[in-house]
Amino acid sequence: STLHYVTTNPGKVREAEEYLGADAVTQFDFDYTEIQADELGPIAAHGAREAYREVGEPVLVDDAGLFVEALGGFPGPYSSYVEDTVGVDRVWNLASDEEERRAYFRCTLAYCDGAEFDASPDPIDRDDRVAAAAAGVEEDEPADDAEPGTLPVKLFEGAVPGTMVAPRGDGGFGYDPIFEHDGTTLAEMDTERKNAISHRGRALEKFGEWFAER
């Protein structure tokens, strides 16, 4: 059976299909309730439960954000709202006022298929831990979200460090044109190259390894 990739964003689906295979993934265009939280994990876990209740088949929710260090992690969990309201160019304008322009993208994938999981979390990748710590978001590998009385959700996380730059490139989506990694903006990369280094690619890699054994 196919995996329902829960998102309204076709750019995310392209990347997931490139990584997991086009036959493995189907977009489930569902606007789950984004609870107010300052971390991505609880938002994604809540969304995965809601989406699973809706379809009754395996779902993967993808919650991502851009965290600019000098701006205290802004726009972070509010990245979608900020893109829709002020837009990417004005986020760059804010960052350009700062001398320190380091930033991180983070992606949390939340999987739910109604079943219980082995509760032992995979150890977090060292680079991701460093990225998370530098982003000011002190975090171990997110604990599997399994509150009593709720559906179990398995979380996977990826992060990529970079630098805020004036917009370049027309690939990718969202904040890709203003985020540079190793001299190239994510919008200047094709999907395969972005996946090889990106927050989403790292999270998909962890998910893919776990899912293959399941």
CA-CA-CA-CA torsion sign (138, 114, 43, 6)? positive
Bridge partner list, 151:
none
Q: Which is nearer to ligand ITT, 32 or 211 (CB)?
A: 32
Burial 98-136 (b: 16+ CB within 10 A, else e): eeebbbbbbbbbbbbbeeebeeeeeebbeebbebbeebe
Q: Which residues contact 183 (CB under 8 A, 6 or more apart)?
A: none
Q: Does 172 help bind ligand ITT (rule: CB under 6 A)?
A: yes
Residue 42 binding ligand ITT, by CB under 6 A: no
Interacting residue with ligand ITT among 3, 42, 51, 62 (CB under 6 A):
62
Q: Is 83 near ligand ITT (CB under 6 A)? A: yes
157 binds ligand ITT (CB under 6 A): no
CB of 115 to ligand ITT, least distance (A): 23
Q: Which range binds ligand ITT by CB under 6 A, 7-15, 94-102, 132-140, 206-214?
A: 7-15
Stretch in the footprint of Na ion (CB under 5 A) among 36-44, 72-80, 165-173, 196-204: 72-80
Q: Which residues pair with 63 in a beta bridge?
A: 108
- Contact status: 5 vs ligand ITT (CB under 6 A): no
**Interaction of residue 173 with ligand ITT, rule CB under 6 A:** yes
Kindly state the tokens that stand for 212: 């293959």
Known catalytic membership, residue 63: yes
Residues with a known catalytic role: 63
Q: Which positions touch ligand ITT (CB under 6 A)? A: 7-9, 12, 62-66, 79-80, 83, 105, 172-176, 186, 198, 200
